[in-house]
A and B are shown apart, each in its own frame.
Chain A
Amino acid sequence: MTTVHATIAAARFGFGPKPGELAAIAPNPVGWLRQQLYQAPDLPARLRDFPSSAAQGSVIAEALYKNRRRGPPADEAEANQRQQDRRMVLGQFRRAYQHEAGARTLAAMDTDTPFYERLVHFWSNHFTVSTTQAQVTSLVGSFEREAIRPHVLGKFSDMLLASTRHAAMLIYLDQAQSIGPHSLAGQFGDRGLNENLAREILELHTLGVNGGYDQDDVLALAKILTGWTVGAIRQVLPQRLAQNLPKPASQADGGAFLFVNLFHEPGTKTLLGRDFNQGGEAEGIAALEVLARHPATAEFVATKLARHFIADDPPARAVAVLADTFRRSDGDLRLLAETLISLPEIWSTPLSKVRSPNDYVIAMVRAIQLDLTERDAYKALKDFGQPPFGAPSPAGWPDKGSAWLAPESLMRRIEAARNVAAAMPARIEPNAFLEATIGPVANADTLIWVARAPDRVDGLALILAAPEFQRR
């Protein structure tokens, strides 16, 4: 049954096969996957020319603009001007984002290391930053490039630290302007502690909602993280505070991480029964280290991985194996990926997951080798309700089929399948296409009805709309 395994390797670990790929994988599906873990690819060529977060200084100052302490506009003309300026900047953010969102989708459509690319999508979703906050729209792409990709085969603790320090996360979850009530800055102003990032780190990034922490731990972590902000904070603080901040390394580091001791809450904080009083930036680093190594984190991450790669309700044994690997290896993500491909549960249950819209669109385009523009790719995902980096909440996109398939959304997929089938090059015949995509896992009914299809386009549409193509 090597070919079934080839389909599982291509569809479940990747984004579905390109033409000819199944045949190439078939002799050694596990080897094909493992190889991708040891030849960590460079940043896809399509993504190399996008700006770094650090370089987006003025952009990020604008992102914090709404909190800037400016007086009320002098007159209506000024009010209109401010409104117009803001709209223009947000429009620029939006265009930059759509450009990169499309490029990122195209990268998944043409990659030769799809397992690696899926892991990027998985971890990006685990540490969600989202364009639902308009101010971070221009930063979400750099977040994935800078905080996620470098650590996908590295240590969980490094990814946690990198994501927490990234401008996109600091702004998305309101950390950039969180100020300890007893800090020097806290004495000055009316801004205070914001516990949003601290709460989501505990609930969504590390321990999980049932991970055994309480509101006091949220508060403690929020205090520990005070002072973690971005360079652009200089431009939005009142002058009397800004002049006391560390001098910028360069003019263009507004998006770089900055620790501001003026914001940092003094004193001892007790998180999960441990005291933290190192002071300064080190305090937050120490706390994240503890969270990354906590047994509840191992359990939480293992469950999410198993849900993503095995089934909506993952088997307990597989979760236990993954959690054990996480604990023993200190969160070694390459080893975790290795463990995944060795789990018998994965190879014995084909088609147990429903493809998300992201996965469905990418799989169609890979199979057909459609020539899309960045705009096409972005728009297809947006219209299916899953634009890249657009998750509705910090919890990320759901990973259960029930969240994606409703009667009306299924009908839209069927209609999309018909549109795509009609646009496929005439050289593609249904039988060959079926063989190259879902052949090894196709049900007998599917084979019969595709064979009976009244014409080529109809047959192709049946394949694209079949459960075997909508699952992975």
Chain B
Amino acid sequence: MVINSADHRAEGSAAASPAATDCEENQQITRRALFQGGAGAMALLAMGVPGLSLAALPTDRRFVFVLLRGGLDGLAAVPPYADPAYAAARGSLALAEPGRDGGALDLNGFFGLHPAMANLHRLYQQQDLAVFHATASPYRERSHFDAQNLLEVGANRPNGQPDGWMNRMLGLYGAAGSRLGIAFNQTVPLILTGDVPVSSWAPGGGDAPAEFLERLAQVYGHDPLFSRLLGQAVAVDAMAEQAGASTMAGGNTPNQALVRTIGTAANMLRAVDGPRMAVIEVGGWDTHANQGTSNGQLANQLRQLDQGIGLLTDRLAPIWDQTVVVVMTEFGRTVAVNGTRGTDHGTGGVAMVAGGRVNGGHVLTQWPGLATAQLHEGRDLRPTLDLRSILKAVLNQHLDLPLADIERYVLPASTGASPVQRLIT
């Protein structure tokens, strides 16, 4: 007995759509088809989300936060190949210099990009990508959970705030803030949870027929919460349908799912009345063993991320000047290779900011060096920049949110981390 419909999809069961056998004419009309579903569907949309597309949204700016869960190895993604200690410190994980077989893609004569990240390299050359190195949140221990928690709640210690900083950010937009946020995930991740309602969308699902949902909407009529959520779900699905979710290439491997998610996300973000602030999560960065160098496990992960960001930039081209994409992870990894050809939880790592108005083409860092004496606790890249300095710059310079509000509501206790100057032009 399987309760959750997600199981059916995962197991590819032929019984995934029990309704289809009950009611032949419903077979092809799923909620994803509601967009073309005629008057009934439109009535459902209108009822669930009053005035959905009538009032203008409070901002045209787009903000996409890509959260890499597991701890990206910053020294693999952005190798400081010209640091005199690099080759020795990284040992068998060191990447070759630019121009050599499997070598890094050069950024500035000192840092390179991992060879699997051609799209990001192109963005850097177009000066649309700023790379930050030796950066970290205020967290100095090594638990994934605590580190992610801190990054998501936007405090200077784990559980230092009860909700996510992006949700508090939406709160700064007043009532209209509830139309801005979306998680490209089935449930809303901590970073986006809080008092302001947000939307969510994930690939898969979608076997409830439109006709059933219309009757359910009648049942929900007396309950404002369920009514609103169903309306949002149908609207966001319609948007995803319009955005081509069902026709996108892509199967069920995590890689294909990410490409499908990002493709749909981009199209939704482009819509005039679509969401503005999005969270996309990518797992699989916890490379304790057999990490690989120019090829291998981590290279595949980076290639997937690079393809995703490439797709995002292509699809968002018409609004690229209004868009900023931030890529962050909870911590970096150890400098030295461990006993299982991987790396362990570390401290300093990389973050990236991309967008049409980003002052890109730079690696921004106060480079601490890789000699043993220069490392944090003798093992990790020493952090010299607080991730919140980057976030505050994006929120202030791109979203035009007042610094005082950011420091008071969004990222409290962050006054020590002053915003990066002139990150957005």
Complex contacts, B39 vs chain A, CB 8 Å: none
Contact B158 A403, beta carbon cutoff 8 Å: no
Which residue of chain B has the shortest Cβ distance to A453 in the bound complex? B215
Q: Once bound together, how far apart are the Cα atoms of A380 and B7, in whole Å?
A: 9
Determine which residue in A132, A420, A421, A458 has the highest number of CB atoms from chain B within 10 A of its CB, and name it. Answer: A458
Q: Does B193 contact A (CB under 8 A)?
A: yes
Say yes or no: is A286 at the interface (Cβ < 8 Å to chain B): no
A 329-344 binary contact with B (CB < 8 Å = 1; else 0): 0000000000000000
Indicate which residue in A385, A414, A423, A446 contacts B187 across the interface (CB closer than 8 Å).
A385
Could you tell me if B2 and A411 are in contact, using CB atoms closer than 8 angstroms? no
Question: CB distance B219 to A445 under 8 Å?
Answer: yes
Q: Per a CB cutoff under 8 Å, which of B145, B185, B199, B205 touches A132? A: B145
A449 to B143, CA, bound (A): 50
**Counting chain A CB atoms within 10 Å of each CB, which of B195, B198, B226 scores highest?**
B226
The answer to whether A379 touches B7, judged by C-beta atoms less than 8 angstroms apart, is yes
B5 CB-CB contact with A under 8 Å: yes
Contacting pair A415 B208 (CB below 8 A): yes
CA distance A166 to B162 in the complex (A): 26
Task: Tell me, yes or no, whether A470 is within 8 Å of chain B by CB.
Answer: yes
> A394: CB under 8 A from chain B?
yes
Q: Could you say which interface size class chain B belongs to?
A: 35 or more
Our pick among B1, B188, B193 for the contact of A370 (Cβ within 8 Å) is B1
B232 cross-chain contacts in A, Cβ below 8 A: 407
Taking the nearest CB of chain A, how far is it from the CB of B90, in angstroms? Answer: 17
B212 and A408 within 8 A (CB) = no
Query: Quick one: given A408-B200, A455-B23, are A82 and B339 in contact (CB under 8 Å)?
Result: yes
Flag if B183 contacts A406 (CB, 8 Å).
yes
A410 to B229, CA, bound (A): 7
CB–CB B200/A407 < 8 A: yes
The answer to whether A392 and B145 have CB atoms under 8 Å apart is yes
Q: Is the CB of B3 within 8 A of A415?
A: no
Whether the pair A384, B4 counts as a contact (CB closer than 8 A) is yes
Chain A residue at smallest Cβ distance from B5: A415
Whole-angstrom distance between the Cβ of B279 and the nearest chain A Cβ? 12
* Contact yes or no, A412 B205, CB < 8 A: yes
Q: Does any Cβ of B come within 8 Å of A402's Cβ?
A: yes
Contact yes or no, B208 A79, CB < 8 A: no
Q: Does B6 contact A (CB under 8 A)?
A: yes
Closest to A409 in B: B187
Q: Which of A380, A415, A452 contacts B207 (CB 8 A)?
A: A415
* B289 CB to nearest A CB, Å: 6
| 396-434 of chain A: CB within 8 A of chain B | 398, 401-403, 405-412, 414-416, 418-423
Which chain B positions have C-beta within 8 A of A305? none
Q: B56 within 8 Å of A by Cβ?
A: no
Stretch at the interface among A38-46, A153-161, A461-469: A461-469
Q: Which 9 A-B pairs have the closest CB atoms?
A: A422-B18, A79-B339, A407-B233, A415-B5, A383-B4, A408-B200, A467-B223, A380-B3, A407-B232
29 contacts between A and B (CB under 8 A): A79-B338, A80-B340, A132-B145, A203-B159, A364-B3, A376-B3, A380-B3, A394-B159, A405-B226, A405-B229, A407-B201, A407-B236, A408-B185, A408-B187, A408-B202, A410-B229, A411-B31, A416-B3, A416-B4, A418-B208, A448-B218, A449-B215, A449-B216, A455-B23, A458-B23, A458-B212, A462-B216, A466-B219, A467-B225
Q: Which residues of B contact A (CB under 8 A)?
A: 1-8, 18-19, 22-23, 31, 143, 145, 149, 158-159, 162, 183, 185-188, 190, 193-195, 197-202, 205-208, 212-213, 215-216, 218-223, 225-226, 229-230, 232-233, 236-237, 288-289, 338-341
A residues lining the B interface (CB < 8 Å):
72-73, 76, 78-80, 82-83, 132-133, 203, 354, 361, 364-365, 370-372, 376, 379-380, 383-385, 392-395, 398, 401-403, 405-412, 414-416, 418-423, 443, 445-446, 448-450, 452-455, 457-458, 461-462, 465-467, 470
Given A83-B288, A465-B216: 19 more A-B contacts, CB < 8 Å: A79-B340, A380-B3, A393-B145, A393-B149, A398-B193, A406-B200, A407-B236, A408-B201, A408-B202, A408-B233, A412-B186, A414-B230, A419-B8, A445-B218, A449-B215, A454-B23, A457-B22, A458-B215, A467-B219
